[in-house]
Structure 1
Amino acid sequence: MSLTNKVDMHIHSDNSFDGHHSVILLCEHACLKGVRGIAITDHCEIDSKTMDFRALTLNSYVNSRLAQKVFSGNLIVMQGIELGQAIYNKPLAEKILSEFEYDFVLGSIHNLENMEDFFFLDFKNYSVDDLMRRYFEAELELAQWNQFDSLAHLTYPLRYLVDREDLYLDLKPYQKLIDEILLTLVKNNKALEINTSGLFMKMHSTLPDAPVVRRFKELGGKYITVGSDSHYADRIGNGIEEGMQLAKQCGFDFITIYHKREPVMIPIED
């Protein structure tokens, strides 16, 4: 596989509350690692009661635009955003999207309404089945909202169920909901993200994993994005080749990048 086609569509700078490095440093590391392009997708958690996401979102946009100019000809830099929990305040989410000319919008759910991020939950205090069912129902509502380009880490809670509880969940009870989500993406010409962060965690798999990606293809899915979900400069591009290979194994010949919210398909192999 040619490294010239290696693109990381999910990266966080220090304009994310949990990011660590500047956009410029991220771009420098991407160039050093032979990455062709990156999307800066800083967090915008719509339901946050404490985060000053408006200022961070503006900073991220300005920093990304500057990086586009600085690295022009050497690195494709896409101005993006990871819009978290948009369905809990759709008017605000839509207002933010109207204020900036993004290349790429990731849609994600990190928590159920009025609850903490799954990262913080003590799963012993909850019915995991209830949490997962409500989570996929929220993902379906997000897919139906349809104001994003790619649906991020569809199986996000599994990161922490496996990492902390050693619980490898069978997704069959939720297959009908998952199919509804995937069919909605297909209908709306949206992408499914292969998030490679799980490859470097206890679960050792992408989010979602191969069966879900393959099912997306079976249902008519066309667009796949691959992202490391990196919050550190030295982790940019981690797992991207593996994610591209997985996409190929599941029947996709192209991955997708975005320019001004329009999909651009590039071959997985030259």
Structure 2
Amino acid sequence: MKYTQIFDTHTHSINSFDGNHTVDEMIESAIDLGCKGIALTDHCDIDGMVDTCFDFQDKQFREVERARSIFGDKIKIYHGVELGQGIYEKELSEKFLSSYDFDFVLGSVHNLKNTEDFYFLDYSKYNVEELLKKYFDAVLETAKWNMTDSLAHITYPFRYLIDRGFMPDNISCCDDVIKEIFAVVIENGKAIELNVSGLNMTMHDTLPSKRYIKMYHDMGGKYVTVGSDSHYKDKIAVNVDTGYNILKECGFDSFTVFENRKPKCIKIV
């Protein structure tokens, strides 16, 4: 890898419904790749896990704690979670977050309320611009709720809209609400995520794109976490170095990790 300090802050083990490898396997792979840090951010899409979120997290937390005792001298391991749709179950989400000593909480929106994940939607049945407006309004509400540390892949629907040929010709229709999201994040001293998974997808781009990372920087944004969104041990840290390149091109000289829910800037070297 080009850089000496590689931290992958968005990964999924088999504790996620779509994960494929154990916590130990994910960490061992990160060590083999020369990573200095990894956050295990398994999915808790809480609107679909109302009755099981604590059982899930108890198991995941134990496994990460055990891995820390085994591998902690070789790599920094962060207790993380990707809390999906927290705003739809705010009371439960806040109880959940207060019940564990997380290092890092990614906040995400994978679906609108009482709707399937954007992955499953038939976009021919929707007004896509109205769908995007509802999506970004939900992300804005998540930012204002201010219970998470970094907003994950804030242009998430673009993955599937681009892949299936439904992306609006003029994406600037989203700019005003994205600027508002950035303003709230900056005011709250939180982060956005540069999710590099899209570089290996049909979209061939990051989530959000470089244009939005530059917008965030120019608005005064300070904190950016960078994650592969890997669901496989052999995908850990893939394109994270490209993410660091993008940060540097946009004016950042560091990326962000969270320890005990506090941001820590690490110089890109």
Shorter chain as denominator, the TM-score bin is over 0.9
Aligned length in residues: 269
Distance in structure 1 (CA, Å) of the matches to 2:68 and 2:170: 42
**Which residue is 2:228 aligned to?**
228
Distance in structure 1 (CA, Å) of the matches to 2:133 and 2:106: 22
**Which residue is 1:187 aligned to?**
187
TM-score by length of 1: 0.96
Alignment of 1:38 onto 2:38: yes
**Which residue is 2:86 aligned to?**
86
**Which residue is 1:138 aligned to?**
138
The question of whether the paired residues in 1 share the 8 Å contact of 2:12 and 2:230 is answered with yes
Secondary structure of the corresponding residue to residue 47 of structure 1:
helix
The question of whether the paired residues in 2 share the 8 Å contact of 1:3 and 1:34 is answered with no
**Which residue is 1:104 aligned to?**
104
**Which residue is 2:118 aligned to?**
118
CA displacement at 1:166 relative to structure 2:
5.8
**Which residue is 2:151 aligned to?**
151
Alignment of 1:239 onto 2:253: no
Distance in structure 2 (CA, Å) of the matches to 1:246 and 1:100: 33
CA displacement at 1:55 relative to structure 2:
1.9
Deviates more, 1:77-86 or 1:170-179: 170-179
RMSD, aligned CA: 1.4
Change in CA separation of 1:42 and 1:187 when aligned onto 2, cut-off 3 Å: same
CA displacement at 1:171 relative to structure 2:
2.1
Percentage identity across paired residues of the two chains: 45
Residue identity in the other structure for 2:175? Q
Gaps of 5+ in 2: none
Distance in structure 1 (CA, Å) of the matches to 2:229 and 2:149: 16
Alignment of 1:173 onto 2:173: yes
The question of whether the paired residues in 1 share the 8 Å contact of 2:199 and 2:206 is answered with yes
Residue identity in the other structure for 1:32? D
TM-score by length of 2: 0.97
Can you list the C-alpha shifts for 1:196-226, whole angstroms capped at 9, x where unaligned?
1100000000000001000101111000100
CA displacement at 1:168 relative to structure 2:
6.0
The question of whether the paired residues in 1 share the 8 Å contact of 2:228 and 2:238 is answered with yes
Secondary structure of the corresponding residue to residue 39 of structure 1:
strand
The question of whether the paired residues in 2 share the 8 Å contact of 1:158 and 1:169 is answered with no
Residue identity in the other structure for 1:250? C
The question of whether the paired residues in 2 share the 8 Å contact of 1:13 and 1:26 is answered with yes
**Which residue is 1:253 aligned to?**
253
CA displacement at 1:58 relative to structure 2:
1.6
Gaps of 5+ in 1: none
**Which residue is 2:268 aligned to?**
268
Alignment of 1:10 onto 2:21: no
The question of whether the paired residues in 1 share the 8 Å contact of 2:8 and 2:236 is answered with yes
Secondary structure of the corresponding residue to residue 89 of structure 1:
helix
**Which residue is 2:206 aligned to?**
206
Distance in structure 1 (CA, Å) of the matches to 2:213 and 2:241: 16
The question of whether the paired residues in 2 share the 8 Å contact of 1:158 and 1:168 is answered with no
Distance in structure 1 (CA, Å) of the matches to 2:62 and 2:4: 27
CA displacement at 1:77 relative to structure 2:
0.5
Can you list the C-alpha shifts for 1:45-104, whole angstroms capped at 9, x where unaligned?
111168833322221111111111111121110000000000001011100001100000
The question of whether the paired residues in 2 share the 8 Å contact of 1:3 and 1:35 is answered with no
Secondary structure of the corresponding residue to residue 141 of structure 1:
helix
Distance in structure 2 (CA, Å) of the matches to 1:30 and 1:129: 39
The question of whether the paired residues in 1 share the 8 Å contact of 2:140 and 2:181 is answered with yes
Residue identity in the other structure for 2:79? Q
Residue identity in the other structure for 1:72? G
Can you list the C-alpha shifts for 1:166-204, whole angstroms capped at 9, x where unaligned?
636532112111100000000001111000110000000
Residue identity in the other structure for 1:221? G
**Which residue is 1:77 aligned to?**
77
